[in-house]
Amino acid sequence: MRKLALSDEILMSIEKPARYIGNEVNMVKKDIDKVDVRFAMCFPDVYEIGMSHLGIQILYDMFNKREDIYCERVYSPWLDLDKIMREQDIPLFALESQQSVKDFDFLGITIQYEMCYTNILQILDLSKIPLMAVDRTEDDPIVIGGGPCAYNPEPLAPFFDIFYIGEGEMVYFQLIDKYKENKANGGTRLDFLEMAAQIEGLYVPMFYDVTYHEDGTIKSFEPNNVNAKNKIIKQLVMDISNTYYPDKPLVPFIKATQDRVVLEIQRGCIRGCRFCQAGSVYKPVRERDLEFLKEKAYNMLKNTGHEEISLSSLSSSDYSQLEGLINFLIDEFKGKGVNISLPSLRIDAFSLDVMSKVQDVRKSSLTFAPEAGSQRLRNVINKGLTEEVILNGAKLAFDGGWNRVKLYFMLGLPTETVSDMEGIAELSEKIAELYYQIPKDQRIGKVQVVASTSFFVPKPFTPFQWASMNTKEEFLSKARIVNAKMKEMLNKKSLKYNWHEADVSVLEGLLARGDRRVADTILYAYHLGCIYDAWGESFDNDKWEQAIAATDIDMDFYITRERDTDEILPWDFIDVGVTKQFLKNEWKKAKEETVTPNCRMKCAGCGVAKFGGGVCFENKN
Amino acid sequence: MKIRIKFAKQGAMKFVGHLDIMRYFQKVMRRADVNIAYSEGFSPHQKMSFAAPLGVGLTSRGEYFDIEVYSTDNSKEMLKRLNDAMVDGMEVISYRLLPEDSKNAMSIVAAADYLVCFREGKEPCSEWKEKFEQFMSQEKIEILKATKKSEVLVNIRPLILSFDVRVDAIFLKLATGSENNIKPELVIDAFCDYLSVQRKPFDIMSERLEIYGKSENGENIPLEDFGKDIL
């Protein structure tokens, strides 16, 4: 039996020791002496979160299909173990072999959200890998980052050797082959990074120099190494039904956040919501073939024993064969005790019919995401959902027996006025009133409308990348306006309003649109003890404020300042396909309250057609 | 049909808690294609019940749960299918058909065997073997047990059904189940009290060896012996 990295004594004194033992169903076992390359794949958050991530399951399967590579997993030790590992000087280990991360060839870190940045430093630190890429030696693993936050890698630039821009299925094997070649030739770390820089989609931050104007904006962003490309082109899987997807996903012992089979039905989104980064960077939408999905659904349920399957995509209702897929799942699996969990579908007759088949109507609630309280502001953000559609959907649902509705909105969107904010309360009220139009003897109790707002954070590669973001005070005063309006509504007892603290959103704003200078702030905050910033119990805003002050970060420059469209943005060196000109036009149209039709209605000429596939070429064969 | 399954839990699996082991076996049933019965209703669940929860940190060679199935292959085939669906450290030992009128395992559990071994350097004293014999020769072994309101003295000697001091471990047969229940930890607590020594943290490693149920004539017999192999 494998020897565990942690002693019984440690494992018995921490929460959920099963986080650290590996050995899960479908864990890949390999003889370490018979592989050439060891890859540690890390999700820098706690095990239950990391194990719920589909991307790692896909890459774990992909890497391990190759006999010469052994891919293992690493997650952030929880606060209790973190403390013990520091006190007792225990190096961070991978779950499979229970061996030190430091001894691996690669440490790959998926960067899914900004608030995990200090956990990345925790991972490096506990692994005893120098935090700064320039300090690493031939004995250290190559540290490579990927995932959505890699679309603006600059705040993390000094901590990574390489960033992988795009979808992981594409160029990893090229990179690993180069690594083996370099090792065989006795090449150095630097030699390898120069080889990596020549591969499409890979960005080696130390090969670039940035200079700044006096006002703090970027003056130049230039390669300092002949092997480094001027533009890094995002990598996309174009043949999405003929690629890596696990048949045997890992099954954790402890309950993970996503404790079910996840079937990714498509990538990308046809809709052009102007606040949405995923919608922009994963363009164009690429649908997976129905037969591919049926086979994967069957295999994954069989090999995991999960009792639930869930569909995943940015907008499942837009999947053209949704009806066929859902009917297949119900016919094939419903009778075998498998629950079918549907993602937030557009509420219409079809989805309500399906939902009534797969879930208990009385226990479930309906979800709408209008995102903004007025049609005017919904036009600004290009959210195609109209009040009429929402009310029709709600009416259908109430007739079908539902009586709970959840509504999601954002506060702080560009051009927002008081009447947009109050519109949140008014829309909630209209939905409640609709319910009470049903004759009393046909109603099932009271209606409950829960409206939640999050604070808008402008993201790179969206038309709002130039927008001013609100301050904490502005956010909170907006939430109070909504709350006060809710209290004025006739059916206020049926309405509930939730909003969050604004501290984290402001920090997220700094990290999302930050440049290389923000790396100092992250490092400073980490040295002050910040980790697990995404977790309320450990987030410490005072320490972050201290770090911001100590590293001379002007929050107005990064947060509230509206950028000039001619300014060099920190992420401009990345080519995501969607052109800067298109984003500028969309930013202009947003201010003019003009909508842009979705990709299936009319091509907007965003630029991603150059990838040669997906929705851009539907019905064009 | 009622089936009783016996399994072992070894190695790193001792860190997986009881509830997670239940979830693990629910998924095993699907992977091994066991034709298990489900309850009615909107979210049906498998008809499965465990005999006696095992604490985190303990290994076992004799854990049990009962299931209800609509149909089954023979025991040999089912053992193979179940064991093909196991992870390292988990092994299904027997798969037996119970008489239709059997009570479930949990309701008949009466005793369990344990092997308790002191970790090196964590023995309570050097002559612990002789001392343990002396400790057990007492007529009463009283411990303070916290109740909702206060503390009461409880005599645990009758709950230690038998014992045997072995080369490097203590074998204990302890009352287990809903009526009387004690754990090896408690016996070692009492032993250290008797020696007037402070217990060292993480001093013992315990393994459960077998669980017994009370048969109709009042005898304690291993739970698996209530059923028969399907040939």
Residue of B nearest to A302 (CA): B31
Residue of B nearest to A341 (CA): B43
d(CA A157, CA A89): 27
CATH fold for the domain made of B110-214:
Alpha-Beta Plaits (3.30.70)
Reported ipTM:
0.94
pLDDT at B201: 87
d(CA B134, CA B77): 49
At A42, the pLDDT band (50, 70, 90 cuts) reads very high
Averaged pLDDT for residues A236-251: 95
pLDDT at A335: 79
For tokens 């890497």, name the residue. Answer: A63
The total of other beta-carbon atoms located within 10 Å of residue A539's CB is 19
Q: Is the pLDDT of residue A344 over 90?
A: no
Identity of residue A376? R
The number of residues making up chain A comes to 621
Listed by start position, the domains of chain A span 8-233, 237-359+573-621
Q: Omega of the bond prior to A153 within 30 degrees of 0, cis?
A: no
Top CATH class of B2-107+216-229 equals alpha beta
Report the share of chain A in percent with pLDDT over 90.
Answer: 89
- Residue from the list A21, A306, A363 with its beta carbon closest to the beta carbon of B15: A21
State whether residue A21 sits within 8 Å of chain B by CB.
Answer: yes
At A151, the pLDDT band (50, 70, 90 cuts) reads very high
The total of other beta-carbon atoms located within 10 Å of residue A118's CB is 27
List the A142-146 sheet strands across, edge first.
Answer: A69-75, A37-43, A106-110, A142-146, A162-164, A202-203
pLDDT tens by residue, A496-528: 999 988 999 999 999 999 999 999 999 999 999
State whether residue A445 sits within 8 Å of chain B by CB.
Answer: no
Q: Is the pLDDT of residue A20 over 70?
A: yes
pLDDT at A339: 87
Choose among B109, B121, B131: nearest CA to B62: B109
Q: Is the pLDDT of residue A1 over 70?
A: no
Residue of A nearest to B87 (CA): A25
State whether residue A24 sits within 8 Å of chain B by CB.
Answer: yes
Taking phi first (over 0 means left), then psi (-120 to 50 degrees means alpha), and beta for anything else, what does residue A87 get? alpha
Look at strands B151-155 and B142-146 and give their pairing: antiparallel
d(CA A69, CA B130): 55
The reply to whether domains B2-107+216-229 and B110-214 share a CATH topology is yes
Look at strands A261-264 and A308-312 and give their pairing: parallel
Domain A8-233 sits in CATH at 3.40.50.280
- Residue from the list B15, B31, B87 with its beta carbon closest to the beta carbon of A11: B15
pLDDT tens by residue, A327-341: 999 999 887 888 888
Task: Answer whether A193's CB lies under 8 Å from A204's CB.
Answer: yes
Q: How far is A292 from chain B (nearest CA, A)?
A: 21
Are A12 and B43 inside 8 Å of each other by CB?
no
Report the share of chain A in percent with pLDDT over 70.
Answer: 99
At A359, the pLDDT band (50, 70, 90 cuts) reads confident
pLDDT at A242: 92
Are B89 and A27 inside 8 Å of each other by CB?
no
Averaged pLDDT for residues A151-171: 97
How is residue A560 annotated by DSSP? I
Are A1 and B24 inside 8 Å of each other by CB?
no
- Residue from the list B20, B43, B57 with its beta carbon closest to the beta carbon of A339: B43
* Local structure of A332: helix, strand or coil: helix
Q: Is the pLDDT of residue A50 over 60?
A: yes
Q: What per-residue string of b and e applies to A154-174 under the rule 16 or more CB within 10 Å gives b? A: bbbbbbbbbbbbbbbbbbbeb
Q: Name every chain B residue with its beta carbon within 8 A of the beta carbon of A1.
A: 10-12, 88-89
Q: Is the pLDDT of residue A620 over 80?
A: no
Q: Name every chain A residue with its beta carbon within 8 A of the beta carbon of B38.
A: 337
The total of other beta-carbon atoms located within 10 Å of residue A203's CB is 23
Are B20 and A18 inside 8 Å of each other by CB?
yes
Q: Name every chain B residue with its beta carbon within 8 A of the beta carbon of A48.
A: none
Identity of residue A415? T
Task: Answer whether B31's CB lies under 8 Å from A305's CB.
Answer: yes
Q: Name every chain B residue with its beta carbon within 8 A of the beta carbon of A95.
A: none
- Residue from the list B10, B16, B46 with its beta carbon closest to the beta carbon of A18: B16
Averaged pLDDT for residues A186-195: 98
Residue of B nearest to A340 (CA): B43
- Residue from the list A17, A251, A359 with its beta carbon closest to the beta carbon of B27: A251
pLDDT tens by residue, A54-76: 999 999 999 999 999 999 999 99
d(CA A602, CA A524): 48
Cβ-proximal residues to A473 (8 Å cutoff; 6+ apart), any chain? none
* Residue spans of chain B under pLDDT 70: none
pLDDT tens by residue, A115-145: 999 999 999 999 999 999 999 999 999 999 9
Cβ-proximal residues to A270 (8 Å cutoff; 6+ apart), any chain? A285, A315, A318, A598, A599, A600, A615
Q: Name every chain A residue with its beta carbon within 8 A of the beta carbon of B87.
A: 23-25, 27
Q: How far is A24 from chain B (nearest CA, A)?
A: 7
Are A9 and B43 inside 8 Å of each other by CB?
no
pLDDT at A361: 67
pLDDT at A11: 97
For tokens 């960005």, name the residue. Answer: A203
pLDDT at A481: 97
State whether residue A5 sits within 8 Å of chain B by CB.
Answer: no
Written as six digits, the tokens of B197 are 């020594």
Domain A237-359+573-621 sits in CATH at 3.30.750.210
Identity of residue B73? D
pLDDT at A336: 81
Are B57 and A359 inside 8 Å of each other by CB?
no
Q: Is the pLDDT of residue A381 over 90?
A: yes
d(CA A101, CA A128): 9
- Residue from the list A1, A306, A339 with its beta carbon closest to the beta carbon of B89: A1
d(CA A36, CA A29): 15
DSSP A483-512: HHHHHHSTTGGGEEEEE--SHHHHHHHHHH
User: What is the torsion angle, in degrees rounded to the nearest 10, for the CA atoms of residue A397, residue A398, residue A402 and residue A403?
Assistant: 130
Are B44 and A337 inside 8 Å of each other by CB?
yes
Residue of B nearest to A304 (CA): B31
DSSP A97-147: T--BGGGSSEEEEE---GGGHHHHHHHHHHTT--SSGGG--TTSPEEEEES
Are B30 and A27 inside 8 Å of each other by CB?
no
Q: How far is A21 from chain B (nearest CA, A)?
A: 7
Listed by start position, the domains of chain B span 2-107+216-229, 110-214
Look at strands B142-146 and B109-118 and give their pairing: unpaired
Q: How far is B219 from chain A (nearest CA, A)?
A: 36
Burial class of B216 by CB neighbour count within 10 A (0 to 12, 13 to 18, 19+): exposed
Are A360 and B27 inside 8 Å of each other by CB?
no
DSSP A161-214: SEEE-B-TTTTHHHHHHHHHHHHHTT--HHHHHHHHHTSTTEE-GGGEEEEE-T
d(CA A381, CA A388): 18
Q: Is the pLDDT of residue A360 over 80?
A: no
